[in-house]
Amino acid sequence: MEFALSSSSPSLSLSRNSIPSNSCNRLFRPTSSSSNFAQSKLFSLKKPLISRQNCSIKAQSSTNGAINASEDQNDDFILEDVPHLTDFLTDLPSYPNPLKKSQAYAIVKRTFVSSEDAVAQKIVVQKDSPRGLHFRRAGPREKAQEVRSCVVTCGGLCPGINTVIREIVCGLNNMYGVDEVLGIQGGYRGFYSKNTIQLTPKSVNDIHKRGGTFLQTSRGGHDTNKIVDNIQDRGINQVYIIGGDGTQKGAAAIYKEVEKRGLKVAVAGIPKTIDNDIAVIDKSFGFDTAVEEAQRAINAAHVEVESVQNGIGIVKLMGRYSGFIAMHATLASRDVDCCLIPESPFYLEGQGGLFEFVEERLKENGHMVIVLAEGAGQEYVAQTLHADDKKDASGNRLLLDVGLWLTQKIKDHFTNIRKMDVNMKYIDPTYMIRAIPSNASDNIYCTLLAQSAVHGAMAGYTGFTVGPVNSRHAYIPISRVTETQNIVKLTDRMWARLLASTNQPSFLSCEVVQERVNKQIFDDIHNMKITST
């Protein structure tokens, strides 16, 4: 029940309260969401986060007021820090972290993460390239008030949510002795429309074996003021928010309101999405489980089509704006002949088109399997069905069923135009994949995320999202992970590897598609989501 504050960390307090005139060592960039302490100022650390010599710093303000490092800074180091409660609560008391005395950490060589530890965003560098952007390394801090925390889960399901809930509750209890953990039920709206439940190590003991979320979830219903009123009324001072990009935007709004009201409340985001489209972090939890489960659907499709003449299997996988699940499931399977994702436009007719490729594969092998991300080809489907844009309660565009559409298109083409009999098998395992419990490696990953979030909040950090950056867990300013969404980059090697593996057409030679690539699809991907709910 003690709050371990790292406010006494020398480099941190120095950076926040003074800009030493003779210092030259580091660029310190406060997160843009951290409005209380000189958003657009450059902080250079007298006591470097990491010792280096001969450093030269050049900095310039970007249009949004953040500090950017200039081009020629070979030795520059930028820490994009997360806010800390002491930024707006100067007299926050701190206590020794009880972890040192805990059984688990008693013999660990380095129990606490040094305030000088940082995680580099870019890991592949050249000899002369700048040191670039860094995030504060996640983990327990040296230094502890009463904690009353809560956990909420928002957005779509994903394997592993229950493990994260369990590990937050157990982590708080086992490591810090916190026994006041409230479960907010049914997503953001649960803060003001439902009763809370008490979460104890006992009540969450085996929830990690189940899919879904023990706390239930919802889309929409984010009302910042009502949520923060509720946090205040219930005397909550740590909020753990598990959710995707939409949820993290909501978390940022809660953090800002908390800061505006000067409340001693730490807001910690744990990124969740099966689509793996959250920026900055290496990968989102549940993604590996999803890719593995997708293999079962692909196998089934392959078995089916292999057993008939001219069998065509179509497997639809999740991926609203990004085709990571489809791409990885295809690369893992080897039974897939063609993978279609939202980022890579395709066309059906003519030379180099999908129909031609399907016919080729049928002639060659007698069967074929297509893996399709649900967001692929949406504009074609919309054109055919003359459908209007509809949105869910969170403002996400509701997708049309590209799987059914493609199934029909291929059938029509071969039956009516090519006069060939084809045997179509369409499999849509999307919700089955999302609803399962996480596999072993995702379970471990979820544990690390939960424990890192707990250590961060216990140390007094706030307004952060936790996640692995180049395999090291870091505290990332929330705005960093919500400003863009990860998509499969067609110009990266991974997509080339997939094309090399399936030997499918890239579809990029067609003029029409080329035009779309330039103009439409990337706009679509970035504009599909409205920003407020």
Ligand X SMILES: Nc1ncnc2c1ncn2[C@@H]1O[C@H](COP(=O)(O)OP(=O)(O)O)[C@@H](O)[C@H]1O
What residue has token string 């983990």?
Answer: 139
Q: In whole angstroms, how close is the CB of 273 to ligand X at the nearest point?
A: 5
Summarize as ranges the residues that interact with ligand X (CB under 6 A): 154-156, 187-188, 219-222, 243-247, 249-250, 253, 273, 394, 396, 531-533
Tell whether 478 is in a known binding site.
no
Vertex 206 angle, CA 204 and 207, to 5° = 65
**d(C-alpha 75, C-alpha 53), whole Å:** 9
* Of 76, 81, 223, 275, catalytic: 275
Residue 84: contacted member of Mg ion, ligand X, ligand FBP, none (CB under 5 to 8 Å, by partner type): none
Summarize as ranges the residues that interact with ligand FBP (CB under 6 A): 155-156, 244, 273-275, 318-320, 374, 392, 396, 399, 434
Tell whether 360 is in a known binding site.
no
Q: In whole angstroms, how close is the CB of 297 to ligand X at the nearest point?
A: 22
107 CB contacts (<8 Å, ≥6 apart)? none
412 CB contacts (<8 Å, ≥6 apart)? none
Q: In whole angstroms, how close is the CB of 318 to ligand X at the nearest point?
A: 12
Residue 495: contacted member of Mg ion, ligand FBP, ligand X, none (CB under 5 to 8 Å, by partner type): none
Q: Looking at beta carbons, which residue is closest to Mg ion?
A: 244
Tell whether 179 is in a known binding site.
no
Q: In whole angstroms, how close is the CB of 85 to ligand X at the nearest point?
A: 22
Tell whether 245 is in a known binding site.
yes
Tell whether 156 is in a known binding site.
yes
Q: Looking at beta carbons, which residue is closest to ligand FBP?
A: 156
288: annotated active-site residue: no
Residue 341: contacted member of ligand X, ligand FBP, Mg ion, none (CB under 5 to 8 Å, by partner type): none
Of 11 and 162, nearer to ligand FBP (C-beta) is 162
- The structure tokens listed for 73 are 């800074």
Of 2 and 275, nearer to ligand FBP (C-beta) is 275
Tell whether 431 is in a known binding site.
yes
Using a 10 angstrom Cβ sphere, with 0-12 exposed, 13-18 middle and 19 or more buried, the burial of residue 472 is middle
Kindly report the three-state secondary structure assignment for every residue of 477-514.
Answer: EHHHHHCCECCCCCCCHHHHHHHHHHCCCCCCCCHHHH
Of 398 and 417, nearer to ligand X (C-beta) is 398
Tell whether 374 is in a known binding site.
yes
118 CB contacts (<8 Å, ≥6 apart)? 49, 50, 77, 79, 134, 135, 136, 137, 474
**d(C-alpha 49, C-alpha 472), whole Å:** 17
**507's torsion region: left (phi>0), alpha (psi -120 to 50) or beta?**
left
Is residue 462 within 8 Å of 267, Cβ to Cβ? yes
Q: In whole angstroms, how close is the CB of 444 to ligand FBP at the nearest point?
A: 22
**d(C-alpha 269, C-alpha 476), whole Å:** 9
Using a 10 angstrom Cβ sphere, with 0-12 exposed, 13-18 middle and 19 or more buried, the burial of residue 509 is exposed
Return the active site residues: 275
- Positions at the binding site for ATP: 156, 219-220, 244-247
Q: Which residues in this chain contact Mg ion in the complex, by CB under 5 A?
A: 244-246
- Positions at the binding site: 156, 219-220, 244-247, 273-275, 318-320, 374, 431-434
- Positions at the binding site for Mg(2+): 245
